[in-house]
Amino acid sequence: MKKVSTAAVALTLSVAAVAGGIGFTAGASQAEATKKPKPVVQDAFDPLGPPMHQLRHAGRTVHYSDTGEKGGTPVLFLGGTGTTARVSGMTEFLRTTRQKLGLRLVSVERNGFGDTEFDPDLGFADHTSDVRAVLDKLGIRKAPVVAISGGGPYAAHFAAAAPERVSSLHLAAALPPYGDKPSYCGKSDEELKAYFREQIRDPRKWWAFPEDSPVRRIPGFTDTAEEDGARSYYLRGQLGDPSAQVHEQKLYCRRPGPDLSHLKAPAYVYTGTKDTTVPPATQARWKEALPHKPVTRSYDDSGHDVQYRHWDQILLDMAGYADRTAVCTGQGTKKRTRVLREDEAERALERGATQGSCAWR
């Protein structure tokens, strides 16, 4: 009988032990795998922001964004001064709510910002013409219109020229082209260029929100705002050229504002009582210009960010739920967002609920 060395025996036992260990571990892993939920890989891409499109109209290229969600009710979105057609993406922190309400955002870029070439001869009427062309291409006959800040004058001109295409008008911290002209209107183009050249050279400062602004609770919001600022003034190699900005500011000086007497659609005005950019007294001019008394929603918790802090309510209003209010009830793990009728919401607020989505808390 062949003699086996002690070392060989030890080696054989070691290999067997390792093999057994591997088999045991693999078996345990397989058992653990069966306990995991079935993996799911999506069938469609998630959007990275509003996609851009273009069309040729009146000898120029018109750029516009469209969430394009199938079956959604289109909304014409008019952003603030110096923004691009992708700025509607700054409201996508409530994308799920927008989608559940069946709303789709369309925004037409203005002269000289982002993708759009600057033409010093273009004005409000040209933008209205561009908007008509985009709506026609998309097969949109009528839509709610929401205007933010410097989008206000554009909304007024579109509503005056095409009142039959406005199903409702939503003015969020929106500048009215009525009443006294802004104080800067007496300055020359060169003076304004010097001012805005300094302002827009750093989009992080141009789009900075105060430290106590509620929008700072939104993950990635300030980054998105800064990126749109960079897109506005640098995308085509403008290198911070303030010409388009000065041109738009001068358009805001034009008086009298457009005649809105033919507008039949209901209007809503959203005001932050702490707004120093478009103060409540300035926004009150909309009441004088609109043919019917607008629904005014005033918020003590907001300044020139009311359009974002209360975007949930604006979405409800645009979707036809103006008689409902979003409130956050409960505390801790029991808090939840509820959409209540106005009288129910008032009682809930008296009991300690807060306005808007619980995400704000």
pLDDT at 36: 86
Residue 29 and residue 43: Cα distance in Å, rounded?
28
pLDDT number for residue 57: 98
pLDDT at 70: 84
**For the segment 35-87, what is each residue's pLDDT rounded down to a tens digit?**
888 899 999 999 899 999 999 999 999 999 999 988 899 999 999 999 999 99
Whether the Cβ atoms of residue 276 and residue 306 lie closer than 8 Å to each other = no
Alpha helices in the chain, H assignment, sequence order: 6-35, 95-100, 124-138, 152-161, 189-200, 203-206, 221-234, 243-251, 280-283, 285-289, 306-309, 311-318, 342-350
**DSSP H stretches of helix in 36-182:** 95-100, 124-138, 152-161
Confidence grade of residue 335 (pLDDT, cut at 50, 70, 90)? very high
In whole angstroms, give the CA distance from residue 83 to residue 137.
23
Helix count (H) and strand count (E) of the chain?
13, 11
* pLDDT, average across residues 141-161: 98
Predicted confidence band of residue 2 (pLDDT cuts 50, 70, 90): very low
Q: Does domain 52-322 have CATH number 3.40.50.1820?
A: yes
Single-letter code of the amino acid located at 284: A
Q: With contact defined as beta carbons under 8 Å apart, do 192 and 184 qualify? A: yes
Domain positions in the chain are 52-322, 324-361
pLDDT band at 9 (very low <50, low <70, confident <90, very high): very low
Least confident of 8-12, 88-92, 269-273: 8-12
